[in-house]
């Protein structure tokens, strides 16, 4: 599958924490606006957050290579120095009505700062990557101030800021962690995975990281730390999900469960319907060895539910979000490269003809090509066939299944796959058998009917329904 070229490195949240705690000390730290200026009283949805700041449309500096566009996060590799690139981000946020919060740190080696608007807090960091190139990371921490989240009685604040809050207590780590869990559940937060000493909780698109650990620097007391983070995708999880993980970079949720595949699919059909997501088919389809189901919303965004075969008594599940803009861009790139792909196939055909003519001393007759039966599925439209190409359209969500059926058919007929990239929204497969070759391409973006094509070199296509 063709993807935008980008050398952006993954920037960890740990690096962003430099921003959060820079200049931290005892006290309340810099404060955002008072409560009367907040836009929303409850944890924000993705749609609400986008009305304040949509980082998927945030501009990059000239010559920068940006990561995958997302509402809640932004990353890029930009040419220039730390200070000049940081100043670009600062000016843009100020022009959008954000206020710079206290404790910014800007040097030639690194820059970090926080900005606030209508209850939302955004962190910006810029770090050198190589000579004249820097890494830029912008993260929306959402509209819930960690200092207002519930904590057990008799805790002492160490630092309470706009995106993080830290406390200490004499109560044991285990008891404190359980107390925090109960308080957050009572406050409407839902468990959303965890790692090491941290537990994650979710409401709408807001995620809170609650870390409870021993603090040697505080005389062995127990430390509580709350950190807020806005997610670019609001992906629900069933209550029995285990080893749950959400990756902001890919906007993908993954987990294990003891539930069967039908129960998982039924859960998502019901849970996602509340947010106006609808499955393109009422059942899962086996694609690439996984059972998959595609969901679309009125804005043409897409969710892909994928479940590989059961292993070890537990079912692995992933749910990935892709925006309509991403899908449209992929569709544009595929169409842009289509003439190049076709020209390459034509050149290969001409070279094969030349080799045949050199060997036999005469022009290659059309009847010399062997015929290859190709099964056509039901429900296709706009069918065009000739000995070297088959093209047609199928309803949204069905192209990948058609291609998978072809892959099996051709492998059974002795064809070898040389390359394959098969995704829900687009893909390409190249196969060969001696001097013969096949090229399968498809797009299934949901913007228009899915398109499928099969091109052949050294063999005649014989389409059969």
| Sequential DSSP letters for 50-93 | HHH--GGGPPPPTT-EE-S--SSEEEEEEES-HHHHHHHHHHHH
Predicted local confidence at residue 377, as pLDDT: 85
Predicted local confidence at residue 334, as pLDDT: 63
Q: What is the DSSP string of 299-349?
A: T--EEEEEEPPPBTTBEEEEEEEE-HHHHHHHHHHHHHHHHHHHHHHHHHH
Residue 338 phi, psi dihedral angles, 5° rounding: -60, -45
Predicted local confidence at residue 177, as pLDDT: 95
Domains belonging to the chain, first-starting first, are: 13-140 (3.30.310), 146-230 (3.30.310.80), 242-322 (3.30.310.80), 326-464 (no CATH)
Burial class of residue 109, CB neighbours in 10 A (0-12, 13-18, 19+): exposed
Q: Are strands 242-247 and 221-230 parallel, antiparallel or unpaired?
A: unpaired
Predicted local confidence at residue 348, as pLDDT: 72
Predicted local confidence at residue 338, as pLDDT: 64
CA 460 to chain centre: 40
Is the four-CA dihedral 264, 68, 280, 441 of positive or negative sign? negative
CA-wise closest residue to 126 among 144, 117, 140, 139: 139
Predicted local confidence at residue 379, as pLDDT: 83
Q: Which two tokens stand for residue 212?
A: 């409870």
- Decide: helix, strand or coil at residue 418: strand
Q: Do 281 and 213 touch, CB atoms closer than 8 A?
A: no
Predicted local confidence at residue 223, as pLDDT: 95
CA-wise closest residue to 317 among 375, 231, 259: 259
Residue ranges for the chain with pLDDT beneath 70:
1-36, 330-331, 333-335, 337-338, 341-342, 345-346, 349, 364-368, 447
């Amino acid at each position: 599958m063709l993807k935008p070229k980008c050398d952006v490195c993954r920037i960890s949240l740990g690096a962003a924490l430099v921003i959060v705690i820079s200049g931290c000390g005892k006290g309340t730290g810099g404060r955002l606006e008072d409560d009367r200026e907040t836009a929303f009283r409850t944890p924000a949805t993705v749609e609400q957050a986008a009305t304040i700041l949509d980082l998927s449309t945030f501009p990059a500096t000239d010559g920068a290579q940006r990561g995958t566009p997302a509402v809640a996060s932004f990353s890029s590799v930009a040419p220039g120095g730390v200070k000049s690139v940081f100043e670009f981000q600062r000016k843009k946020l100020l022009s959008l009505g954000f206020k710079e919060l206290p404790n910014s740190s800007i040097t030639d080696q690194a820059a970090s700062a926080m900005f606030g608007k209508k209850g939302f807090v955004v962190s910006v960091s810029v770090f050198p990557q190589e000579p004249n190139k820097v890494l830029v990371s912008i993260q929306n921490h959402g509209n819930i101030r960690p200092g207002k989240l519930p904590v057990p009685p008799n805790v002492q604040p160490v630092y309470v800021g706009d995106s993080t809050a830290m406390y200490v207590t004499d109560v044991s780590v285990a008891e404190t962690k359980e107390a925090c869990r109960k308080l957050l559940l009572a406050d409407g937060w839902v468990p959303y995975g965890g790692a090491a000493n941290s537990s994650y909780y979710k409401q709408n698109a807001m995620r809170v990281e609650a870390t409870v650990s021993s603090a040697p620097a505080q005389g062995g007391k127990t430390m509580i730390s709350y950190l807020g983070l806005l997610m670019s995708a609001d992906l629900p999880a069933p209550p029995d999900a285990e080893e749950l993980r959400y990756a902001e970079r890919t906007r993908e949720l993954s987990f294990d469960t003891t539930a069967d595949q039908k129960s998982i699919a039924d859960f998502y059909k019901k849970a996602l319907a509340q947010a106006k997501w609808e499955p393109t088919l009422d059942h899962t389809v086996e694609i690439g060895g996984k059972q998959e189901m595609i969901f679309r919303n009125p804005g043409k965004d897409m969710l892909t539910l994928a479940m590989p075969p059961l292993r070890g008594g537990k079912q692995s599940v992933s749910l990935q979000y892709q925006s309509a803009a991403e899908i449209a861009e992929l569709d544009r790139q595929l169409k842009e490269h289509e003439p190049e792909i076709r020209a390459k196939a034509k050149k290969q055909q001409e070279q094969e003809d030349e080799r045949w003519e050199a060997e036999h001393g005469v022009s290659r007759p059309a009847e010399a090509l062997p015929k290859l039966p190709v099964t056509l599925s039901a429900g296709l439209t706009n069918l065009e066939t000739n000995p070297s190409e088959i093209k047609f359209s199928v309803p949204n969500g069905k192209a990948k299944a058609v291609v998978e059926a072809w892959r099996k058919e051709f492998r059974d007929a002795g064809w070898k796959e040389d390359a394959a990239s098969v995704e829900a929204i687009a893909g390409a497969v190249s196969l060969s058998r001696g001097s013969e070759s096949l090229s399968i391409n498809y797009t299934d973006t949901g913007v228009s009917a899915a398109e499928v094509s099969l091109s052949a070199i050294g063999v005649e296509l014989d389409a059969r329904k």
